[in-house]
Amino acid sequence: MDDIQKMLESKRAAARLGGGEKRIAAQHGKGKLTARERLELLFDEGSFEEWDMFVQHRCVDFGMDANHIPGDGVVTGYGTINGRLAFAYSQDFTVFGGALSEAHAEKICKVMDQAMKVGAPVIGLNDSGGARIQEGVASLGGYAEVFQRNVLASGVIPQISLIMGPSAGGAVYSPAITDFIFMVKDSSYMFVTGPEVVKTVTHEEVTAEELGGASTHTSKSGVADLAFENDVEALLMLRRFFNYLPLSNREKPPVRPSGDPANRCDASLDTLVPANPNQPYDIKELITKVVDDGDFFELQPEYAKNIVTGFARMEGATVGIVANQPLVLAGCLDIKSSIKAARFVRFCDAFHIPVVTFVDVPGFMPGTSQEYGGIIKHGAKLLYAYAECTVPKITVITRKAYGGAYDVMASKHLRGDVNFAWPNAEIAVMGAKGAVEIIFREDKGDPEKLAAREAEYKARFANPFVAAERGYIDDVIQPHETRQRICRSLKMLKDKKLENPWRKHGNIPL
């Protein structure tokens, strides 16, 4: 028995050592944690249960039959985060550069399958050089098995990817399918083809950081949601982020105790919107003054800044926030902002998270670059997302809601449950100046007449009351009571039931 025990401990020690002390030191030298150190930080102390510690690859080519390391480059299992169940896999760069083999993929697939069975999120800590070339097509098949599970799990359990090293070639498509992607600055990157291939094919010279680093994907491509300074910050923030999410689509998000009164009023909101309709203001100030304790977890803050998305709590319950940002492009909707908001709304809808929308939108961004880029189809993505959404939807128009953008931003016509407007809201087909120039084009040469017509148009149409008279706005509320009215509405809607017509799936304009 002692011999068996010694053998077991020896095998466990070999697995825990990964690629060896030298490679662990190299990992630390890059400012990176090892695969197991990352899992220790991610999960509650002592809660992680590892699976398949002794799995090894089955490759016999190119000398691999003499090169086996227990675990085969990925640590898998489950544990708790703030007492709630989650599954995870953590790729070990010290073992074959974290390259994915058939056995490596099977380990990942096993935890994904189990997560689907029990209804718990999957978190992937990615740090891999890509496919294990020695295994050829078997490695590619392994990737495809993971991709298939990513697709089947989409909308069933939350999937989060944390890129903590390289993720290149086929490896990038698993994170791309997951719900959220976080990166670590200066040590993580994602691209389909690396700098060397780019140089060979297109003659462009670009570094890995420029091509697929955290800054690129959080500000230019929109592939990643957030970037953090180091592994420790990334894992601690992921733990915080996890608290907003339900474990699966079979349950609602957790409710946390809140000492912030639901009936709290904030008089400063009465002067938030400038008297000059062309003067911008920061919509994030409104968000932080309305949500519980001013705590707002923003996603994609550096991408498509003309729209703001993220999670917050109202009376302790998770809500998704979508808001036009007047500080950037006057809050206009464009291609990037439409895609950003649409994906966020669809996640909220899949996981029973109410959507609160703050509207100040003068319309869709004009111009050839937008039209040639497909703003018609991309703008329709956001319309589609709001229209199919069946969770509680509460909308507050703070200032402008013009044209088709009014319709798209969670209007009553798209089954908005409760639609409020502030007293200074302007809900119309377009702004007064543009409308007058079209309606009264015969007065174009008479500035005084045009000014009078503009004043008349503003008085008759640039207000919330025309829409309220038709029931498109449920109430015109004072800015300072916004939190109170939203909280009451959410409480009223907590047992809302709404189903879309049966279908295999809709055909969103991708």
Residues designated catalytic: 169-170, 404-405
The two structure tokens encoding residue 138: 């078997």
Q: What is the DSSP letter of 443?
A: G
Residues with Cβ < 8 Å from 333, sequence gap 6 or more?
Answer: 306, 307, 324, 361, 363, 364, 365, 379, 382, 405, 408, 409
How far apart CA 409 and CA 281 sit, in angstroms, is: 19
How far apart CA 100 and CA 98 sit, in angstroms, is: 6
What one-letter code names the amino acid at 177? I
What is each CA distance from 322 to 312, 351, 425, in whole angstroms?
11, 16, 18
* 86, 116 contact by CB (below 8 A): no
How far apart CA 251 and CA 258 sit, in angstroms, is: 20
Per DSSP, what are the bridge partners of residue 411? Answer: none
The two structure tokens encoding residue 23: 């490679």
What is the CB neighbour count within 10 angstroms for residue 476?
A: 17
**Angle CA(94)–CA(96)–CA(101) in degrees, nearest 5?**
130
How far apart CA 31 and CA 247 sit, in angstroms, is: 32
* 194, 151 contact by CB (below 8 A): no
Per DSSP, what are the bridge partners of residue 400? Answer: 426
Question: Which of 362, 341, 247, 262 has its CA nearest to residue 298?
Answer: 341
What is the CA 150 to chain-centroid distance, rounded? 16
Query: Dihedrals φ, ψ of 427, to 5°?
Result: -115, 110
How far apart CA 121 and CA 234 sit, in angstroms, is: 17
The two structure tokens encoding residue 212: 């697929």
* 161, 175 contact by CB (below 8 A): yes
Question: Phi-psi category of 501—alpha, beta or left, where left has phi over 0 and alpha has psi -120 to 50?
Answer: beta
The two structure tokens encoding residue 236: 């601690």
How far apart CA 226 and CA 311 sit, in angstroms, is: 13
Query: Dihedrals φ, ψ of 499, to 5°?
Result: -125, 140
Place of tokens 């990038």: 172
